[in-house]
Homo-oligomer: A and B are copies of this chain.
Amino acid sequence: MGPYQVLQHIPGAEVVLCAVEAGELRDDAGLLRLQIERDLASVPSPDVVVIPGGPGKDVPAQPGSAMAAWLQAVHPTTTWTASVCTGALVLGAAGLLEGLTATTHWGSVDKLASFGATYTEQRVVIHDDVHIATAAGVSSGIDLALTLTGRLVGDDIAKAIQLAIEYDPQPPYDCGSASKAGPELVGLVRAVMG
Chain B residues near A137 (CB-CB < 8 A): 164-166
Q: Mark A90-116, 1 if CB is under 8 A from B, else 0.
A: 000000000000000110000000000
Q: Mark A25-37, 1 if CB is under 8 A from B, else 0.
A: 0000101111100
Number of copies: 2
Chain B residues near A1 (CB-CB < 8 A): 1-2, 5
Taking the closest CB of chain B, its distance from the CB of A125, in whole angstroms, is: 12
Q: Which of A2, A150, A189, A193 has the most CB of B within 10 A?
A: A189
A166 to B176, CA, bound (A): 5
Which segment, of A42-50, A64-72, A153-161, faces chain B? A153-161
Tell me if A178 counts as interface (CB < 8 A to partner B).
Answer: yes
Q: Are B4 and A16 in contact (CB under 8 A)?
A: no
Q: Mark A129-143, 1 if CB is under 8 A from B, else 0.
A: 000000011111011
A181 to B113, CA, bound (A): 40
Q: Are B185 and A163 in contact (CB under 8 A)?
A: yes
Taking the closest CB of chain B, its distance from the CB of A176, in whole angstroms, is: 3
Provide 9 A-B residue pairs closer than 8 Å at the C-beta atoms, listed in order of the A residue.
A85-B166, A105-B166, A137-B164, A138-B167, A143-B170, A162-B175, A163-B176, A163-B186, A165-B176
Given the known interface contacts A32-B34, A163-B181, A185-B163, the answer about A158 and B176 at a Cβ–Cβ threshold of 8 Å is no
Which 9 pairs, one residue from A and one from B, show the smallest C-beta to C-beta distance?
Answer: A137-B166, A168-B176, A169-B169, A1-B1, A138-B165, A167-B176, A33-B35, A168-B177, A123-B170
Q: Are A172 and B192 in contact (CB under 8 A)?
A: no
Q: Are B166 and A177 in contact (CB under 8 A)?
A: yes
